[in-house]
Amino acid sequence: MRVALIGVGRMGAPMARNILKQGHALAAYDVSAKALAALDGSRARICSSAADAVRDAEIVLTSLPGPKQIAFVMAEIEPAVASGAIVADTSTTSPEQSRAMAARFAAKSVAYLDAPISGGVEGAIKGTLTVMVGGEVAAFRRAVPVLSAIGADVHHIGPSGAGNAMKLIIQMIFMTYVGTFMEGLALADKLGVPMETALRVIGTSSAGRPDLSKRFEKILKNDLSPRSEVALGLKDLTLARELCETEKLDAIITRASAEAFRLAAEAGYADKDLIALRNATRERKA
């Protein structure tokens, strides 16, 4: 298929390589010249604008930071995308925004899928992401050959917005766990438990999780270089909290988690890795 990919950063670049590996033609665009340079030497056609990238595409994938960037990019590509094409947004946003975008593109006879992903950079590199899709079943089936290039588990969840609803459920669970985990480590620091010992014991206990064990070395070195930023965690928790409020669900734990992330971001850790919640917790006065 002829594929356009808008956004080739930490997640998008490995997704691009896996799409090419499966034999699809790829046009790529990113606002960052450095990000585009990472595709030098590949068979991707590097484009000067998002509109240029999507003109001949059968399916357009977007990988963007959040709602503002999604709105901006969709407004740019809407006039250029061909009738009959599919736009599949792999970003995380609100179900409401996904439904609004689906309605806009439907007016142009373009199918819109919200197709957020889970599995982190490692999953993007290996092509083992979980893809959660909301939208028309017929469009989903047409998109599967491309979505399967980036993900090992591709699921149709339901109508427009259902993919992002599922992703926000995942994020509210994961980010809440991360926040509690880092508070636990901060308490271990206070009690004088050696961090290497604490991590070793936690890692073999019921509190251990493989996805966080990958960060143990970063924790021991206090390496705050981001695999996933605090700001993105805050964005997802805020969206999850708002969705809970819309559905009249009293999500006490999610609200508390969002507050912890907000305080960490305000303490200067917005662009740092999630493990920075430990630092922010230690620094706050009770």
Catalytically annotated residue among 68, 108, 126, 167 = 167
Q: Is 83 exposed, middle or buried (0-12, 13-18, 19+ CB in 10 A)?
A: exposed
- Annotation marks residue 248 as catalytic: no
What does the chain look like in DSSP terms, one character per residue? -EEEEE--STTHHHHHHHHHHTT-EEEEE-S-HHHHHTTTTSSPEE-SSHHHHHTT-SEEEE--SSHHHHHHHHHHHTTTSPTT-EEEE-S---HHHHHHHHHHHHTTT-EEEE--EESHHHHHHHT-EEEEEES-HHHHHHHHHHHHHHEEEEEEEESTTHHHHHHHHHHHHHHHHHHHHHHHHHHHHHHT--HHHHHHHHHTSTT--HHHHTTHHHHHHT----SSBHHHHHHHHHHHHHHHHHTT---HHHHHHHHHHHHHIIIIITTSBTTHHHHHHHHS--
Active site residues: 167
